[in-house]
Amino acid sequence: MIGEKSREHGVDPLLVHSIIHVESRYNPYALSHKGAEGLMQLMPQTARSLGVRSGFDVRQNVSGGVKYLKQMLEKFDDLRLALAAYNAGPEAVVRWNGIPPYAETQDYVYKVGKRYGELRRQHNSSQVALTPVIQAEESEPEFRPLEARVDDEGRLHLKTR
């Protein structure tokens, strides 16, 4: 689904995986102290503006999150600024004319960037689980679906099919 939504909006799925890793560690029920919900930690007001009715619905959350990320990438045309806007809001990036001086946002941009670099290196060198299994006609990769389940103790378990 992440690959599907990423292709739909023209966003690198490895970037989306990086954001989800940093935002929620793949916990679809994650809730931040500020009220951000789900895998991609959408604020309820932002989620509604993106057509997301339930921030905890995995498909809706990823769809809305990828759409919002694409908007930030187009608005700022710079990955670091787009990530800062995803975290702190585009108004803050405009107000500060760059990455805002908030420790949380600066840390977020660093962590997502680091994770993204790691995934890209792994993808290019060792063909990790996110590696294309079948090449689509447009030469866009197909990615193995990710299965998730939460056990009785609330732990999230992920595996590829």
The pLDDT, as a whole number, for residue 28 is: 96
pLDDT digits (tens, 9 = 90+) for 18-30: 999 999 999 999 9
pTM for this model (two decimals): 0.77
Residues of the chain with pLDDT under 50: 128, 130-141
Q: Which long-range contacts does 115-122 make (Cβ < 8 Å, 24+ apart)?
A: 115/17, 115/18, 115/21, 115/22, 116/14, 116/15, 116/18, 119/14, 119/17, 119/18, 120/14
Alpha-carbon separation of residue 114 from 32, 62, 77, 108, 118 (angstroms): 22, 21, 19, 10, 6
Q: Which tokens sit at 145?
A: 């679906």
Which of 4, 8, 23, 74 is the catalytic position? Answer: 23
Give domain limits for the chain. Answer: 2-76+110-160
pLDDT averaged over the chain?
87
The pLDDT, as a whole number, for residue 126 is: 60
Tell me if residue 23 is catalytic: yes
